[in-house]
Amino acid sequence: MNEYCIKYGLNEDRLPQHVAIIMDGNGRWAKKRLWNRLVGHRAGADAVDAVTTLCREIGVKYLTLYAFSTENWKRPEAEVTGLMELFKEFLVSKKNLLIEKNIRLNIIGSRDRFLPELLKLMNETIAETEKYDPEMTLTLALSYGSRQEIVSAVKKIAEKIAIHEITPENIDEKMISENLYTFDIPDPDLVIRTSGEYRISNYLLWQIAYSEFYFTDTLWPDFNREELIRALKDYAGRERRFGKTGDQVKG
């Protein structure tokens, strides 16, 4: 029995294996206080800490956080630069903790627009945290867009057809999954979106086919341990049918 599950009143057998989060509301959180949006992102980074720690404690195996979308490059330059700085600081300050807690860092998204310094830090942290069998995988979606991910998977498969390595008949769901950035992680069981928005925003479109959704009005910087526990308890009460009837699932 996991002592933290007992402490927080969570049923260990009904925990999601993979939680994916759309961390929304940093800007509004800052605006309400008449602060710069970047202060909101900084507060958002603290919420990342709290959520990662709790997931590791209770035994959630995969946590995937939408930290920067392909569309976010269109934000004002100062905000983009500030966010890149924050990602760098996160990698530098958390590397040892990730290693100590046996958390593997994984990054999904397109790498071509990141500056070399950030890229180097990403690659180093990924390499240093993948040495051992991890207790948990923390995936950051950075410069990530799901449609672009699917396009890239289709191109990879088409190239194999072009060189006669496979035929179109060989294409199946498994092959598509294996050619996505998420090839080595299972599909999310639970997707959480904060800040009262009810959108998917180009996040893991293929992977969320059978995920459960949890929406909360809480702005991301206010999303704390209690909020996550509430979401997990809500998830524990859901019946996942995967297209079957309720009786089939129970039987």
Q: Is 19 in the site for ligand FPP (CB under 6 A)?
A: no
192 forms part of the interface with ligand FPP (CB under 6 A)? no
Spatial contact of 189 and 20, defined as CB atoms under 8 Å apart:
no
Q: Name the residue nearer to ligand FPP (CB basis): 92 or 209.
A: 92
DSSP one-letter code for 134: -
Active-site position among 36, 72, 102, 224: 72
16: contact with ligand FPP by CB under 6 A:
no
Active site residue 179: no
Question: Tell me, what amino acid is at 33?
Answer: R
Interacting residues with ligand FPP between 101 and 140 (CB under 6 A):
140
Of these, 44, 109, 134, 188, which contacts ligand FPP (CB under 6 A)?
Answer: 44
| Site for ligand FPP contains 67 (CB under 6 A) | yes
Instruction: Give the total residue count for the chain.
Output: 251
CB-CB contact of 129 with 103 (8 Å): yes
Is residue 227 involved in binding ligand FPP (CB under 6 A)?
no
CA separation (Å) from 90 to 188, 215, 221?
Answer: 24, 26, 16
Assess whether 187 carries a catalytic annotation: no
- Which one of the spans 10-18, 26-34, 120-128, 232-240 is the region binding ligand FPP (CB under 6 A)? 26-34
Q: Distance (Å, rounded) from C-alpha 232 to C-alpha 203?
A: 20
Site stretch for ligand FPP (CB under 6 A), options 86-94, 128-136, 200-208, 230-238? 86-94
Least distance (Å) between residue 87 CB and ligand FPP: 6
Are 212 and 240 in contact by the 8 Å Cβ rule? The answer is yes
192, 48, 110, 204: CA torsion to nearest 10: -10
Asked if 25 interacts with ligand FPP (CB under 6 A), we say: yes
**123-to-25, 108, 129, 178, 240 alpha-carbon distances in Å:** 29, 12, 10, 21, 37
Number of other residues whose CB lies within 10 A of the CB of residue 133 = 7
Considering only 10, 19, 24, 204, the residue that binds ligand FPP (CB under 6 A) is 24
Contacting residue, 86, 122, 136, 204, with ligand FPP by CB under 6 A: 86
Check 2, 13, 24, 123 and give the catalytic one. 24
Rounded to whole angstroms, how far apart are CA atoms 122 and 95? 10
Whether 235 contacts 180, CB under 8 Å: no
Catalytic residues: 24, 72
List contacts with ligand FPP (CB under 6 A): 23-28, 41, 44-45, 48, 65, 67, 72, 86-87, 90, 140, 195, 220
